[in-house]
Amino acid sequence: MPGFPEYDSYDALGLGELVRAGQISSGELVEECIARIEKVNLHINSVVFELFETARARSAAGFGDGPFAGVPFLVKDLIQRIPGVPTQEGSNFFKGWTPTDETNLYRRWLDSGVVPVAKTATSELGLLPVVETDLHGVTRNPWMLDRTAGGSSGGSGASVAAGVVPMASGGDGGGSIRVPASCCGLFGHKPSRARNPSGPIASEHWSCYVAEHVLTRTVRDSAVMLDATHGPDDTTPYFAAPIVGTFAEAAGRDPRPLRIAFHSDPAFPATVHPDCKAAVEDAARLCAELGHHVEEVSPGHDTVALGRAFLVVLGANVAAEIHEGEQLRSRRARSKDFQLMTWVTRMLG
């Protein structure tokens, strides 16, 4: 590593504090991030598009005085648009498509002070909980390269876990922040719907299933970034309830005793690995030791009906997304443009 081996011992707020104190420059952090991408990406395949020169220019020109001023950041290659930068969504159909407009949440990330250095891998259209695409290949878990980093925000999860950045963006419709956070040993919070903006291109994503935020190594980074980005925009058809105080204050406050229910059986027919079940039980035990009321319960819902309802909504939204893509690409979509699961899901819609 070229100059700052302690880089990955800091979270994003910690790096921002170093920049503000003049102990290190944003440019030095960006170069450290780039060096780490170049070292690990061959092994984990988490970065799919480099923004190195743009990052160098931003770190030199200025990045405001936000809480993460000057800190390297990675952006998931799905939904969020950066003018002049391809948005390919893990799909051959969108390969090379480059927007000219900018999404509001991306602008709020910039206003927080971060310096985007690259875009990260996603499953095709964000559908699967693993990142294995025809366009970019397999994203691997840095803790064990023969295991998945999860998905659909697997590129972001793998990058944070590998120490490339302390924080990277993700989106979550059915676990796409939470799954890679679990696989990679990170903190992944899915905000309430409409807590963060979806505009101006869309008013919501996947009929409000999707919420976008970040994957981090610390809770405080996630909370402070949510403080920086939350709130409606002009396209929001509904809004999340206002909060009292800040998310950072809430994250730093000892909670009152809570009633916590946990459930370690899968919602659909599947086998849970004993290690995963033990991890859930360990977490429940820890919560009880902290003074909370914890009990194991069964949700009792009709899993077949739930699965059908989810697929109806998902299929309709994938079909709509591919139809929109046809307008953007000025050509009809064909089955060979997509992976089989994506095309089948589209047919359901």
Task: Give the active site residue among 59, 112, 176, 222.
Answer: 176
Question: Is the same domain home to 281 and 208?
Answer: no
> According to the model, what pLDDT value does residue 1 have?
42
Task: Give the active site residue among 26, 46, 59, 76.
Answer: 76
Give the pair of three-digit tokens for residue 109.
Answer: 């990330």
Give yes or no for a contact between 68 and 110, defined as CB atoms under 8 angstroms apart. no
Question: Is the same domain home to 48 and 111?
Answer: yes
**Strand 115-120 relative to strand 259-262: parallel, antiparallel, unpaired?**
unpaired
Distance, CA of 122 to CA of 59 (rounded, Å): 26
Distance, CA of 162 to CA of 231 (rounded, Å): 31
76 is catalytic: yes
Give yes or no for a contact between 171 and 210, defined as CB atoms under 8 angstroms apart. yes
Residue 95 maps to a domain: yes
Please identify, among 207, 238, 253, the residue that sits at the C-terminal boundary of a domain.
Answer: 253
CATH code, 146: 3.90.1300.10
Question: Is the same domain home to 115 and 247?
Answer: yes
Question: Is the same domain home to 214 and 276?
Answer: no
Question: Is the same domain home to 277 and 217?
Answer: no
Spell out the residues 6+ positions from residue 335 whose beta carbon is closer than 8 angstroms to its own. 343
Residue 56: give the domain boundaries: 7-253
176 is catalytic: yes
Please identify, among 221, 238, 253, the residue that sits at the C-terminal boundary of a domain.
Answer: 253
Task: Average the pLDDT over each of 163-177, 238-252, 299-313, 333-347 and give the range with the smallest value.
Answer: 299-313
Question: Is the same domain home to 108 and 204?
Answer: yes
Work out the average pLDDT over 157-165: 99
How does DSSP assign 177-191, residue by residue?
THHHHHHHT-EE--P
Task: Give the active site residue among 91, 152, 156, 169.
Answer: 152
Question: Is the same domain home to 43 and 21?
Answer: yes
Please identify, among 229, 253, 277, the residue that sits at the C-terminal boundary of a domain.
Answer: 253
Q: Within 13 Å of residue 237, how many CA atoms lie on the same side as its CB?
A: 6
Q: What pTM was computed for the model?
A: 0.96
Say how far residue 24 (Cα) sits from the centre of its chain: 27
Residue 212 maps to a domain: yes
Count of domains observed in the chain: 2
How does DSSP assign 28-74, residue by residue?
HHHHHHHHHHHHHHHHH--EEEE-HHHHHHHHHH---SSTTTT-EEE
Residue 2 maps to a domain: no
Question: Is the same domain home to 249 and 259?
Answer: no
CB atoms under 10 Å from CB of 64, counted, come to: 12
What's the one-letter identity of residue 126?
G
DSSP 8: G
Is the pLDDT score of 308 beyond 50?
yes
Work out the average pLDDT over 29-58: 99
Question: Is the same domain home to 166 and 55?
Answer: yes
Distance, CA of 67 to CA of 64 (rounded, Å): 9
pLDDT grade, residue 86 (50/70/90)? very high
> According to the model, what pLDDT value does residue 2 have?
55
Distance, CA of 222 to CA of 214 (rounded, Å): 7
Give yes or no for a contact between 190 and 151, defined as CB atoms under 8 angstroms apart. no
End-to-end Cα, the chain, rounded Å = 49
Residue 340 maps to a domain: yes
Q: 195 in the Ramachandran plot: left (φ > 0), alpha (ψ -120 to 50) or beta?
A: alpha
119 is catalytic: no
**242-291 pLDDT tens trace:** 999 999 999 999 989 999 999 988 877 889 999 999 999 999 999 999 99
Give the pair of three-digit tokens for residue 47.
Answer: 């970065």
Q: Angle 172-332-102 (CA atoms, 0-180°, nearest 5)? A: 45
Is the pLDDT score of 171 beyond 60?
yes
**208-244 pLDDT tens trace:** 999 999 999 999 999 999 999 999 998 888 889 999 9
Residue 100 maps to a domain: yes
- Where does residue 29 rank: exposed (0-12), middle (13-18), buried (19+ CB within 10 A)? buried
> What values do phi and psi take at 114, rounded to 5?
-65, 160
Distance, CA of 199 to CA of 114 (rounded, Å): 20
Residue 1 maps to a domain: no
Q: What are the angstrom distances between the C-alpha of 63 and each of 25, 32, 56, 59, 114? A: 12, 18, 11, 7, 7
CB atoms under 10 Å from CB of 268, counted, come to: 9
pLDDT grade, residue 3 (50/70/90)? confident
Question: Is the same domain home to 64 and 159?
Answer: yes
Question: Is the same domain home to 98 and 35?
Answer: yes
Higher-confidence residue of 146 and 238: namely 146
Q: Provide long-range contacts, Cβ within 8 A and 24+ apart, for 239-244.
A: 239/194, 240/191, 240/192, 240/193, 240/194, 240/195, 241/192
Question: Is the same domain home to 262 and 187?
Answer: no
* Helix locations, the chain, DSSP H: 12-20, 26-44, 52-61, 104-111, 154-161, 178-184, 219-229, 247-251, 274-289, 303-329, 340-348
Residue 273 maps to a domain: yes
